[in-house]
């Protein structure tokens, strides 16, 4: 099965988080923009170039919104490796960041727990494709391999 199909199948049944459950922070202009952009959208509709303005918004999403919109980000990247900017870094930070100095090791581990085995396999396949055929700066990147290992084995 191709990476696109793995992602579509693994995330097919994730429910929309609700208009009021997209970003947590109130009185935050950036979160207001995120809520306005994602409100009522399906992850299947996320595309570049409009998604480019929200390439670093993944950490602002609630857990449910992250789970719901993640496949859209991954699929949009597969179609537009040249426009992905910091999307892979954001995804890898949320799912695999291990830095005791920043005290986010446990948070990354908790973030990984919400995914099913099939979702983990789909994310790992996407990361592998990023490492194999994505932008030059991501090819063979050790951090990508590290996060793949964490996603599949933690």
* Numbers of helices and strands, H then E, in the chain: 7, 0
DSSP designation for 100: G
Q: What are 33-81's pLDDT values in tens digits?
A: 999 999 999 999 999 888 888 878 888 888 899 899 999 999 999 988 8
Residue 122 has pLDDT above 70, yes or no: yes
User: How does residue 111 score in pLDDT terms, banded at 50, 70 and 90?
Assistant: low
pTM over 0.95: no
Q: Where are the domains of the chain?
A: 3-153
Do the beta carbons of residue 14 and residue 122 sit within 8 Å?
A: no
Please enumerate in sequence order all residues whose Cβ is within 8 A of that of 90, keeping only pairs 6 or more positions apart, or say none: 55, 56, 58, 59
CA–CA separation, 112 and 127 (whole Å): 14
């Amino acid at each position: 099965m191709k990476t696109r199909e793995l992602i579509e199948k693994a995330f097919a049944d994730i429910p929309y988080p609700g208009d009021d459950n997209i970003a947590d922070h109130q009185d935050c202009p950036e979160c207001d923009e995120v809520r306005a952009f994602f409100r009522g959208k399906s992850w299947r509709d996320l595309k570049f170039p409009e998604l480019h303005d929200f390439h670093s918004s993944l950490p602002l999403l609630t857990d449910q919104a992250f789970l719901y919109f993640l496949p859209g980000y991954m699929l949009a990247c597969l179609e537009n490796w040249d426009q992905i900017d910091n999307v892979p870094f954001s995804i890898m930070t949320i799912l695999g960041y291990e830095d005791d100095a920043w005290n986010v090791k446990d948070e990354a581990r908790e973030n990984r727990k919400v995914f099913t085995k099939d979702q983990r396999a789909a994310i790992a396949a996407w990361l592998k494709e990023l490492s194999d055929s994505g932008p030059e700066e991501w090819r063979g990147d050790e951090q990508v391999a590290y996060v793949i290992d964490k996603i599949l084995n933690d």
